[in-house]
Structure 1
Amino acid sequence: MRTLVIDTATRACSVALFDGKQLLAAQHEVIGRGHAERLLPLIAALPDNGKADQIMVDVGPGSFTGIRVGVAAAKALGLAWRIQVHGYGCLSLVAAMARAQSGSQAAVDVIMTGGHGEYFFEAFNDTGHSIAPARSVLPELLATVALADHVAGDIDPQRGDRVWTDILPDARAWAHLPDDHALPPVPVYGRAPDAKPAAVRA
């Protein structure tokens, strides 16, 4: 079974095409912004324009805009190709990448930029599964929640007693996720939206 993987939840934008768990081709760019403009050309650069039997998409938490772009594209392609679309967690992929890079089966804490001076945090046990749902944490509270010896993500905890792996999610690493990682293709933002609803006038 071929799987198209789409990851646009952070400043990185990546796509990958797998046959089973074997990577066939991939595209990866750290672009900051502009995921909507870059995503479809990256998919088109894959063999057969990325045509697959199922789609996996990063549902967050992460960038509000990036997540929406990825999920919308995945659903549109899924509808056009009449295939199923599933999601996976942004922090779950980072944890899996960190464990694969280090060759360690130890627990890992993931800390990613969350915006507004907050960080997204999620802890993973020694089997790579989440201990509790991802949440947004203030910087001063990280020391009370990040307890693992291994920390991964795009935020340096600046603790000499911790091993830090600097990682952004990458679709090429999708095969490292646990087999039971699939989620609904629905955005997981991790915090309240930036925009406030307009006040209703009487």
Structure 2
Amino acid sequence: MIILALDTSSAATSVALFDGDVILKSARHIDARRHAEVLAPMIVEVVAGRTVDAVVCGVGPGPYTGLRVGVASAASLGLAWRVPVVGICSLDAIAYAARAGGISGEFIAGLDARRKEIYWARYGEQRLAGPYVNRPDELDPELLTLPWVGVGDTPAYPDATALARIASPLLSAGVPLAARITNLATHGTDDGATAKQLGNQQLLPPFPLYVRRPDAVAGIKS
């Protein structure tokens, strides 16, 4: 099964083409303001005319604009190619890479959420809690005793190769998607609702996980 994976949930735009357990080609560009410009040319370069059997996209959490570039592109490609499109929590990709790099036990995978906040989730062999968004001073002190990956002096970004490696065995085994996430949870209007609904599910519908509450809320006139 040839899988096209892509992620635009962070400052990095990442694309990879995966076949079985082999990365056929991958590309990454780091610029938080150019997802829309660079993603399509990167996909053309990586796919290089091959037939794709499924599309996997990182669904965040991440900033509204950049995240939607990847999710909307994945959905469009799925429609054009008539192939399934699935989502993976982007923090799962950071956690996967951390485990592959030798980390063991429980740890936190995080991403810079801007506004002096952090997107984070807790992991062991699987996602144990999250994703959430908090300021560092809001975190339980116990969390700060665990190893953190993805944030700090050496930030890591979700990588499309990790997304593909997570999704490939699940798609091949026919693992069903997690239940459709309600708009309330998807848009982060209820603190913790997204994490509660996701549980430790990995294959998700291809909808953005914003987690954060929206900046603009429709007013209600009396």
TM range (shorter): 0.7 to 0.9
Inter-partner Cα distance in structure 1 for 2:213 and 2:83: 31
Q: Could you say what secondary structure the match of 1:80 adopts?
A: helix
Question: How does 1:1-202 map onto structure 2 within 5 Å?
Answer: 1-49=1-49, 51-101=51-101, 103-125=102-124, 127=125, 129-142=126-139, 144=141, 146-147=143-144, 149-156=146-153, 166-177=155-166, 179-180=169-170, 181-194=202-215, 196-197=216-217, 199=219
Percent of residue pairs bearing the same amino acid type: 36
Aligned residue number for residue 183 of structure 2: none
Shift of 1:13: 0.2
Greater shift after overlay, 44-53 or 92-101? 44-53
Shift of 1:33: 1.0
Contact 2:32 2:66 in 1 (8 A): no
- Residue by residue over 1:102-160, the C-alpha shift from the partner in whole angstroms, topping out at 9 and shown as x without a partner, is x23322201211122211121001x1x1112211112212352525532101335xxxx
Shift of 1:198: 5.3
Aligned-residue CA RMSD (Å)? 2.1
Shift of 1:186: 0.8
Greater shift after overlay, 68-77 or 41-50? 41-50
Stretches of structure 2 that go unaligned for 5 or more consecutive residues are: 171-201
Normalising to structure 1: TM-score of the pair?
Answer: 0.85
| Structure (1 or 2) with the greater strand fraction | 1
Inter-partner Cα distance in structure 1 for 2:161 and 2:129: 25
Inter-partner Cα distance in structure 2 for 1:62 and 1:98: 19
Amino acid in structure 2 at the alignment position of 1:167: A
Shift of 1:48: 2.9
Aligned residue number for residue 161 of structure 1: none
State how many pairs are aligned.
Answer: 190
Inter-partner Cα distance in structure 1 for 2:17 and 2:145: 33
Aligned residue number for residue 199 of structure 2: none
Stretches of structure 1 that go unaligned for 5 or more consecutive residues are: 157-164
Inter-partner Cα distance in structure 2 for 1:47 and 1:175: 14
| Structure (1 or 2) with the greater helix fraction | 2
Q: Could you say what secondary structure the match of 1:52 adopts?
A: coil
Inter-partner Cα distance in structure 2 for 1:47 and 1:177: 19
Contact 2:4 2:47 in 1 (8 A): no
Inter-partner Cα distance in structure 2 for 1:2 and 1:108: 31
